[in-house]
Amino acid sequence: MRKVSFLLMVGLLLVGCASKGSQKIVVATDATWPPMEFIDENKNIVGYDIDLIKAIAEKAGFEVEIRNTAWDGIFAGLANGSYDVVISSVTITEERKKQMDFSEPYINAGQVIVVRKGTPGTTLNDFKGRKMGGQIGTTGVMEIQKNPKITLKTYDEIGLAIEDLYLGRIDGVVVDTPTAASFVLQNPKYKDVLTIVGEPFTEEYYGIAVRKGNKKVLDLINKGLAEVKKAGIDKELEKKWLR
């Protein structure tokens, strides 16, 4: 009898381990924000965030199902349990932390400098006496304004600033990292002429959002994320999508 009980216990443990290993986590993303998440020419959801969550899943031992979800309802769906997590260029803010839990930060998507290839300089201090552009009302313009020795040119849209840079009318553009990568890496018109220099010099950290109090999923995400960072996969993804 004891032998039978022991074998039954072992069997249950093995079933439990198998179930744990095959756990599926449903992930929502608004695939309209290249290069972080977008639909490619083959109708697949791709991007930095998508590669990242798949790498986290592999490291933490769970399956992942990705659902394209409109931004205007994405956090409501998280709260009501329509999916388990949101990875969609979500900036960690104090206000959002009241409504949901966040993983450890996975990337600083702060401001960077875009220049024509071959232009000297990697920081704002290097652009004293030169002309830089940014979109009105953005952090990028605010950062340029901190240095009065830089001539600032503002634009209604960031695309207009990028075009002026492409034409050589200004020396650089300050913009957030994903937008810079979208113009420099994804746009065939600009990718051979423009480049991103230096590192992000403001802090705007992205995190993976989890339903408030869902510690089990949050711990699993953070475990996988830690392994991804330890293996340097996050840096590889930055080179692939953001540089």
Vertex 191: Cα angle to 33 and 164 (nearest 5): 90
In angstroms, the CA 167 to CA 171 distance is 10
Provide the domain limits for residue 29. Answer: 23-108+205-241
Which stretches of the chain are DSSP H helices? 2-21, 48-60, 74-79, 94-97, 139-145, 158-166, 177-181, 215-230, 233-241
Structural domain includes residue 45: yes
Structural domain includes residue 136: yes
- Rounded to a whole number of angstroms, the CA Rg of the chain reads 22
Give residue-wise pLDDT tens across range 132-163: 999 998 889 999 999 999 999 999 989 999 99
Q: Which two tokens stand for residue 240?
A: 């692939």
Q: Are residues 215 and 103 in the same domain?
A: yes
Q: What is the reported pLDDT for 185?
A: 83
Question: Does residue 242 register a pLDDT over 60?
Answer: yes
Structural domain includes residue 17: no
Q: Are residues 174 and 64 in the same domain?
A: no
Q: What is the reported pLDDT for 129?
A: 97
Task: Give the residue, 140 or 5, on which the prediction is more confident.
Answer: 140
| Range of lowest pLDDT (7-11, 194-198, 199-203) | 7-11
Structural domain includes residue 83: yes
Cβ atoms of 48 and 242 within 8 Å: the answer is yes
Q: Are residues 38 and 98 in the same domain?
A: yes
Q: Are residues 37 and 100 in the same domain?
A: yes
Report how many domains make up the chain: 2
Q: Are residues 101 and 148 in the same domain?
A: no
Mean pLDDT of 125-135: 96
Cβ atoms of 113 and 95 within 8 Å: the answer is no
Q: In sequence order, which residues have a C-beta less than 8 Å from that of residue 149 and are 6 or more positions away?
A: 128, 129
Q: Are residues 177 and 192 in the same domain?
A: yes
Task: Give the residue from 111, 161, 115 showing the smallest Cα distance to 139.
Answer: 111
Structural domain includes residue 55: yes
Q: Are residues 101 and 215 in the same domain?
A: yes
Question: Does residue 207 register a pLDDT over 70?
Answer: yes
How would you class 124 by CB atoms within 10 Å of its CB: exposed for 0-12, middle for 13-18, buried for 19 or more?
Answer: buried
Q: Are residues 213 and 104 in the same domain?
A: yes
Structural domain includes residue 18: no
DSSP lists the bridge partners of residue 195 as: 115
Pairing state between β 24-29 and 85-86:
parallel
Last residue of a domain, one of 197, 213, 229: 197
Q: Are residues 143 and 79 in the same domain?
A: no
Residue type, 70: A
Spacing of C-alpha 125 from chain mean position = 27
CATH number at residue 85: 3.40.190.10
Q: Are residues 103 and 135 in the same domain?
A: no
Mean pLDDT, the chain, whole residue set: 90
Q: Are residues 103 and 153 in the same domain?
A: no
Task: Give the residue from 208, 224, 133 showing the smallest Cα distance to 170.
Answer: 133
Residue 113's pLDDT band (cuts 50, 70, 90): very high
Structural domain includes residue 10: no
Q: Are residues 92 and 157 in the same domain?
A: no
Structural domain includes residue 1: no
Give residue-wise pLDDT tens across range 11-70: 444 444 444 446 999 999 999 888 999 999 999 999 999 999 999 999 999 999 999 999
